[in-house]
Structure 1
């Protein structure tokens, strides 16, 4: 069988039939680009995520700082690229400040933003949901959470796109790498100024809380703080925007759900969990093997780059009945959508809260959402799968 190319247009448009074939025939195999290994079955992916001694996150730090970047990337200091015990130390310190209570205090402001953006969409009727709603909603949430300068919001998407693209840029593409360096420079300078400001005058925002955090007299270092701020900013924007975009796309493709959710409000959390299962915002998570190992009878060599295909695991027939059917009534907890075990996403409750608030505001104002494109163009990324644009018409209630 020929190698599957994960970036082929037909795979990006609908990867799930290809994943189903891999689960049946080659659950652990090599694919393109670059002959990387992929793992496709739910149980194998959970086993890999639990086995941090073999499937390393820290081993992938080199990908965030390729030689042609020619500078330090603060994202490489984040907990997403750390293994225990360092990962546990960072998570404990960050968890003292970044809690569900922190996010709950933002809900009123998130709801106000969602209501305003929904009203703006209704005035225009036909919009691109990605920049006109999803990006603006999450950028505003990050402004409120971190106490950022709202005037910088136009830079947020550029910073995120550039920093997430580091590993994919060819060494020969000097112009693109210059763009990335500039974005890292700008963001690092801004975050340094923000930290200095909060040290002089603490507030009730998350940055001030991180500076105050202590566990056994240990505090977060400047490198730890910068790494987490880069991670929260970049990953927080990307995953929440992807979740909201898929939620809107599903409402457009399955219009009956808007009426049903209005009548059965208690289904809203289950609807969000089913969106997370059906189209997870983290589509794949990467690991590096530190030793030879075996999954599903296949030998993986040491130092292999492995993509754990979460998007495949959450459609695994061995775990979910009729996995290609969107059915919130199944009440599945899509925990893998935000990682598992030690690397379960520390900001998952923020993404879920944002999705719930957005959905409630859309339901109260919109009768239905209609797709205004015959086909969608998809991003090219191993970690996420999201439409680059989502043209919709919003029909008022």
Structure 2
């Protein structure tokens, strides 16, 4: 076992953590790391064990990180994210009534129309920041429509999501005033939305959540605010990060773009491999309820544990040649969206946005080219993504020919 203590916030770890994760899997599969000496779990089987056993690895560990002493209230701190069974089961059953896979599937025409509009603007510009011009506004506008919010406020909601993701015991002091103000404004805004929906119901998720009831039990205002906060943060971060890192990868694999353009049926397998190759969520945090041993290492009771999903999905014990992108790969257990009780409720929406977004981009563009300059990466444990991705969007010679099916969907 290595005695070196890895720093997950080091610049090289943010830019490309996979060599570090590989070393951890080889020599220190369970070890203490920075920040804060939390325990990191790097191998697939161990990460899966953590996700499957909430009675040992409690989500309350995540709650502690959300209750920063400088923050009066955080709607995520009592939400689904931090609850264990059986309380988690009750709340998940209720919110599932307002956020069904059927409702999400029926939203595909709007997702396609939004993606078509954004891709058309990229084609007009020729060069743009892919994140600001496509990867952020696509999920942002979708979420606004699902929640019945003003879509012109999507940039403000993205800022809220970014600030929520920054809340932790190690939040830089210079960011604390802005994050505190954001959380206060967000809670007030969501309570106003809920009050309006009580008076005037609409065809949106908030109204469905207000009507959700099981055995006479309904959701409280705080629980609805918590779930709206999850949708905002996870809905923005998951799809934005996934699209951004996938397109970034495609800038170095033009052969994959050519294959997908020639045979769109390959996109389903490509999407699953993209989820494995660059997980939308990097790490999930838990806290041990008892002493436990993984890979021969004993983790004490009460320890904070970082289950590194991004490392698990490149574990050579599970995936042959894990650093090779293989769209024909077929994993038997998929953990990009978690596993067990906390499997992500929004996974169908993220997959839909990913599928439609990539279909639209690949139909319009022959390739994506990086513009000069180093990428700057964010600094949160849960997700890893660049702040911006400047690209050149190259159209094929036959770009004037459009599919009638897509044109109709965009109208």
TM-score category by the smaller chain? over 0.9
Q: Does 1:389 align with 2:388?
A: yes
Q: Contact (CA 8 Å) 2:198, 2:210: kept in 1 or not?
A: yes
Residue 317 (structure 1) shift: 0.7
Give the SS at the match of 2:286: strand
The equivalences for 1:213-224 within 5 A come to: 213-224=212-223
Task: Please give the alpha-carbon distance, in whole angstroms, between the structure 2 residues aligned to 1:151 and 1:205.
Answer: 17
1:233-277 deviation per Cα after TM superposition (whole angstroms, max 9, x unaligned) = 111111110011012112211111122112222111111111110
**Residue in 1 that maps onto 2:10:** 8
How many angstroms apart in 2 are the aligned matches of 1:343 and 1:353? Answer: 20
CA distance in structure 2 between the partners assigned to 1:339 and 1:149 by the alignment: 30
State the SS of the aligned residue for 2:218: coil
Residue 361 of structure 1 corresponds to: 360
- Take 1:333 and 1:274, find their aligned partners in 2: how far apart are those partners? 12
Give the CA deviation at 1:79. Answer: 0.2
Asked if 2 retains the 8 angstrom alpha-carbon contact of 1:273 and 1:334, the reply is no
Does the 8 Å contact 2:61/2:285 carry over to 1?
Answer: no
In structure 1, C-alpha distance between the alignment counterparts of 2:136 and 2:166, rounded to whole Å: 18
Alpha-carbon distance, 1:334 to partner: 6.7
Partners in 2 of 1:170 and 1:354 — Cα distance?
Answer: 30
Number of the residue aligned with 1:371? 370
2:41 maps to which of 35, 39, 42: 39
- Tell me the residue number matched to 1:24: 26
Deviation at 1:331, TM superposition (A): 2.9
SS state at 1:253 partner: coil
TM superposition shift of 1:59 = 3.4
Match of 2:103 in 1: 102
1:346 is matched with 345
Report the secondary structure of 2:328's partner residue: helix
Q: Compute the TM-score of the two structures, normalised by the length of structure 2.
A: 0.93
After TM superposition, give the deviation of residue 309 of structure 1 in Å: 0.5
> How far apart are residue 374 of structure 1 and its match?
4.8
Structure 2 SS opposite 1:29: strand
Residues in 1 aligned to 2:258 and 2:337: alpha-carbon distance in whole angstroms: 28
Q: Which residue of 2 aligns with 1:78?
A: 79
Instruction: Note the residue ranges of structure 2 that are not aligned, 5 or more in a row.
Output: 397-411
Q: Give a deviation string over 1:6-45, Cα, whole Å, max 9, x none.
A: 1111122211111111111111011112211100011111
Alignment partners' CA distance in 1, 2:222 and 2:156: 23
**Deviation readout 1:151-204 (Å, 9 max, x if unpaired):** 322211221121111115558x2x532211211121111111111111112121
TM score, norm. by length of structure 1: 0.96
Whether the 8 Å CA contact 1:19–1:40 is kept in 2: the answer is yes
Over residues 86-139 of structure 1, what are the superposed CA-to-partner deviations in whole Å (9 max), with x where a residue is unaligned?
111111111122111111122111111111111111111111111111111111
Aligned partners of 2:62 and 2:369: how far apart in 1? 41
Q: CA deviation at 1:373?
A: 3.2
Where 2:290 maps in the other structure, the secondary structure is coil
Contact 2:68 2:169 in 1 (8 A): no
Conserved 8 A contact 1:314-1:334: no
Distance change in 2, residues 1:169/1:296 (3 Å) = closer
Question: CA separation in 2, counterparts of 1:206 and 1:184?
Answer: 21
Checking the alignment, whether the CA contact within 8 Å between 1:6 and 1:32 is kept in structure 2 is yes
Name 1:146's counterpart in structure 2. 147
Distance, in Å, in 2 between the alignment partners of 1:252 and 1:368 is 7
**In the alignment, what sits opposite 2:163?**
162
